[in-house]
Amino acid sequence: MYNITLVPGDGIGPEVSKAVQEIIEATGVEINWEEVEAGAGVMDEYGTPLPEEVLDSIRNNKIALKGPITTPVGSGFRSVNVAIRKKLDLYTNLRPAKTFAGSPTMFEDIDLVVVRENTEGLYAGIEHMVGDDAAESIKVITRKASERIVRAAFEYAKRENREKVTAVHKANIMKLSDGLFLEVAREVAKDYPEVEFDDRIVDNMCMQLVQYPEEYDVLVLPNLYGDVVSDLCAGLIGGLGLTPGANLGDDIAVFEAVHGSAPDIAGQNKANPIALLLSGVLMLRHLDEKEAADSIENAVAEVLAEGETLTADLGGQASTTEITEAIIDKL
């Protein structure tokens, strides 16, 4: 029996979280879900979108599954997702992007993994106004954070039998900050001679991914670039509804869907649970429940390939309940 923190989130979060719980339960893996709430819905009660009890639960259980949480644009509280990553030092954001037969995409056989630094860069949150008419954001790149994220990418490549790691940067312009990241990446690569290493400037990387995605394998990037490029990779495989995510530290792991909370369809039984479900697959592999993880991934692949029970974002008309039941039937 595993004790795992569950943060259902808001919007469609509770619906997709419930679906994932049901599917994992159908594999026979026994989990005691410790449910805690975060997001805009708890502001009135706690005065914060991220109550300390959420962090305490994750620290205690060491592992969590988190549904989508709404982040206000331009005003309001800072992202709960970013806050969890920083407060728990979850410095690695892992975003696999893999095509399935039947996915709504023109691309085939894509199998990429984005390894994104999670704690610094422009997302460090160091901002201030300069007078009334200018705003300044400070980008922070450190040797320590760069080394541990690049090393995490190489360790992942070794563990998963991946052939190549590509460091992505803009060191031709930001010669000190991105220059430091690239310098560290080259140094760390020397410790992994069995894994091929190269680097790409971020704008060129985006073009290369659209033209020649098959030439790339594991990408390691600073925070902002990782955020942008991981969504580009999601677009290659059919959208965020098929894209899982994990935030990893030295001893804590939080698995999450990377799409938004879609409040416009909340409560309507229309949401696609596959992204959070595939995040659950990553979680099961983290727990060394490989058989259950593989069975869920295979079931998802079968449902997508058949194309008979798909939610609206995947080109069908199925409900959340119907696609959940279809996946369980395949198990």
The answer to whether residues 283 and 324 touch, using CB atoms and an 8 Å cutoff, is: no
- Residue 75 is predicted with a pLDDT of 46
Using only the alpha carbons of the chain, give its radius of gyration.
20
The answer to whether residues 31 and 2 touch, using CB atoms and an 8 Å cutoff, is: yes
Written as six digits, the tokens of 20 are 């994932």
- Given the residues 123, 156, 216, 225, select the one marked as catalytic: 123
The pTM of the full predicted model, rounded to 2 decimals, is: 0.93
Whole-angstrom distance, CA of residue 114 vs CA of residue 221: 8
Listed in sequence order, the residues at least 6 apart from 38 whose beta carbon sits closer than 8 Å to its beta carbon are 7, 9, 49, 50, 51, 54, 69, 80, 84
- Residue 149 is predicted with a pLDDT of 98
Calculate mean pLDDT across residues 175-188.
98
Known catalytic residue at 123 = yes
- Residue 78 is predicted with a pLDDT of 63
Question: Within a 13 Å sphere around the CA of 149, how many CA atoms are in the beta-carbon half?
Answer: 34
Whole-angstrom distance, CA of residue 327 vs CA of residue 137: 45
- Given the residues 66, 86, 98, 170, select the one marked as catalytic: 170
- Given the residues 91, 216, 225, 227, select the one marked as catalytic: 227
CATH numbers and ranges of domains, the chain: 1-95+238-331 (3.40.718.10), 106-219+231-237 (3.40.50)
Q: CA quadruple 71, 75, 76, 79: dihedral positive or negative? A: positive
**Among 71-75, 84-88, 155-159, which stretch is predicted with the lowest mean pLDDT?**
71-75
The answer to whether residues 185 and 154 touch, using CB atoms and an 8 Å cutoff, is: no
Whole-angstrom distance, CA of residue 270 vs CA of residue 90: 31
- Residue 43 is predicted with a pLDDT of 81
- Residue 77 is predicted with a pLDDT of 55
Calculate mean pLDDT across residues 58-70.
95
> Could you read off the pLDDT of 279-323 as tens digits, one per residue?
999 999 999 999 999 999 999 999 999 999 999 999 999 999 999
pLDDT band at 81 (very low <50, low <70, confident <90, very high): confident
Known catalytic residue at 227 = yes
> Could you read off the pLDDT of 202-245 as tens digits, one per residue?
999 999 999 999 999 999 999 999 999 999 999 999 999 999 99
pLDDT of 98 > 60? The answer is yes
pLDDT band at 71 (very low <50, low <70, confident <90, very high): low
- Residue 72 is predicted with a pLDDT of 59
Calculate mean pLDDT across residues 57-80.
81
Known catalytic residue at 111 = no
Calculate mean pLDDT across residues 133-155.
97
| Maximal CA-CA distance, the chain | 61
pLDDT of 74 > 50? The answer is no
> Could you read off the pLDDT of 35-56 as tens digits, one per residue?
999 987 788 888 888 999 999 9
- Given the residues 56, 203, 250, 329, select the one marked as catalytic: 203
Written as six digits, the tokens of 319 are 């409900």
DSSP 243: -
